Amino acid sequence: MFGLFKSHRKVGAEAAVNAIRPLIATIQHNQGLPSSFWTNYYILGFFTFTAGHHIKLATRGSIKDAELSAAVGDVLTTVSNLNGQELVQRTIQMSHNDEFDFNRGADDAAAICFYTMRILKNEAEHPLVTMASKDAQRSTDGGNTEAERRAYIASMMMLSLMNEVHSLA
Give yes or no for residue 3 having a pLDDT over 80: no
Mean pLDDT score, 2-29? 88
pTM for this model (two decimals): 0.89
- Answer whether residue 144 shows pLDDT above 80: no
Distances in whole angstroms, Cα of residue 106 to Cα of each of 50, 118, 125, 145 = 8, 18, 18, 30
- C-alpha pair distances (Å), 79 with each of 17, 58, 126: 7, 18, 29
**pLDDT tens track for 46-83:** 999 999 999 999 999 999 889 999 999 999 999 999 99
Mean pLDDT of 92-101: 95
17 touches 79 (CB < 8 A): yes
Distance CA 23, CA 158 (A): 9
- What length does the chain have? 169
For 83, list phi and psi in degrees, rounded to 5. -75, 100
- The rounded mean pLDDT for the chain is 90
Look at residue 139 and tell me whether its pLDDT is greater than 80.
Answer: no
Please count the other Cβ atoms lying within 10 Å of the Cβ belonging to residue 10. 16
